């Protein structure tokens, strides 16, 4: 039986920390779906389409990985795609409380779905999408933290903002 895992997140944008988790998860399961959350409550910087497109390009070298978008309850989405495994990354103690709480709720909602945590690589424990967005907003260099595709997306956004007169 093939085991499909889902790695959900906002990925606003995907960082090298996310890529590392996706890569490692893809070697643990037969198939991995990177599920990009519509996440209306977080008001993402990049549109859902942009986040899906970037992740698709970034992870295109991993044969057993696909990128999809989803809305609604994660456990419903996981059931729909036939997955019994949710993958989440854990960076630090600060992630722990929130992640364990979500895992507990999801387990309550769908006892047949397991959450598996992958510990962040030491060098990426400080890295978050929000920090990357803040550096980019202040015109800093984010190329160490994200794939070139994301660097380009930030540049496009910046040029558009200048063109439209609000940067
Ligand atoms: P959320 O799903 O809470 O909106 P993100 O999209 O930023 O958060 O991240 C998706 C998942 O990846 C979460 O489990 C998060 O803890 C994890 N993650 C985020 N950044 C890193 C990192 N640098 N290293 C490992 N895991 C990470």
Q: Cα dist. 150→28, 102, 156 in Å?
A: 26, 28, 10
Q: Is 145 in the pocket of ligand 1 (CB under 6 A)?
A: no
What CATH number has the domain bearing residue 72?
3.40.50.620
DSSP code string of 54-83: HHHHHTTT-TTEEEEEE-S-HHHHHHHTT-
Residues of the chain short of pLDDT 70, as ranges, are 166-167
Ligand 1 centre distance from Cα of residue 138 (Å): 22
* pTM for the full predicted model: 0.95
Q: What is the pLDDT of residue 128?
A: 96
Is residue 18 annotated as part of the catalytic site, yes or no? yes
- 26, 39, 83, 129: the active-site residue: 129
Q: What is the pLDDT of residue 166?
A: 62
Largest CA distance in the chain: 55
Ligand 1 centre distance from Cα of residue 107 (Å): 19
Indicate which residue's Cα is closest to atom 25 of ligand 1: 120
Q: What is the pLDDT of residue 131?
A: 97
Q: Are 23 and 62 in contact (CB under 8 A)?
A: yes
Q: What is the pLDDT of residue 1?
A: 87
Ligand 1 centre distance from Cα of residue 9 (Å): 6
Q: What is the pLDDT of residue 101?
A: 96
Q: Is 70 in the pocket of ligand 1 (CB under 6 A)?
A: no
Expressed as residue numbers, the domain containing 153 is 4-163
Is residue 42 annotated as part of the catalytic site, yes or no? yes
The total of other beta-carbon atoms located within 10 Å of residue 37's CB is: 21
Measured distance CA(79)–CA(62) in Å, rounded = 23
Mutate to test the pocket of ligand 1, among 5, 8, 9 (most ligand atoms within 8 A of CB): 9
Is residue 88 annotated as part of the catalytic site, yes or no? no
Q: Give per-residue pLDDT as tens, 67-103.
A: 999 999 999 999 999 999 999 999 988 789 999 999 9
Atom of ligand 1 nearest to the CA of 126: 23
Look at residues 77, 95, 80, 87 and name the one whose alpha carbon lies nearest to residue 29: 87
3-state secondary structure of 121: coil
Number of domains present in the structure of the chain? 1
Look at residues 14, 17, 30 and name the one whose alpha carbon lies nearest to residue 62: 30
């Amino acid at each position: 039986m093939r085991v499909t895992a889902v790695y959900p997140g906002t990925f606003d944008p995907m960082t090298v920390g996310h890529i590392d988790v996706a890569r490692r998860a893809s070697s643990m399961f037969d198939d991995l779906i990177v599920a990009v959350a519509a996440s209306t409550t977080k008001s993402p910087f990049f549109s859902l389409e942009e986040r899906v497109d970037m992740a698709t390009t970034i992870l295109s070298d991993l044969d057993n990985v696909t990128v999809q978008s989803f809305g609604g309850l994660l456990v419903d989405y996981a059931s729909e795609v036939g997955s019994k495994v949710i993958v989440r990354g854990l960076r630090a103690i600060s992630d722990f409380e929130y992640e364990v709480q979500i895992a507990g709720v999801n387990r309550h909602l769908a006892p047949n779905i397991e959450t598996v945590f992958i510990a962040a690589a030491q060098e990426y424990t400080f890295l978050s999408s929000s920090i990357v967005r803040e550096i980019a907003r202040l015109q800093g260099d984010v190329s160490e933290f994200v794939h070139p595709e994301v660097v380009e997306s930030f540049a496009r956004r910046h040029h558009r903002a200048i063109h439209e007169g609000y940067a």
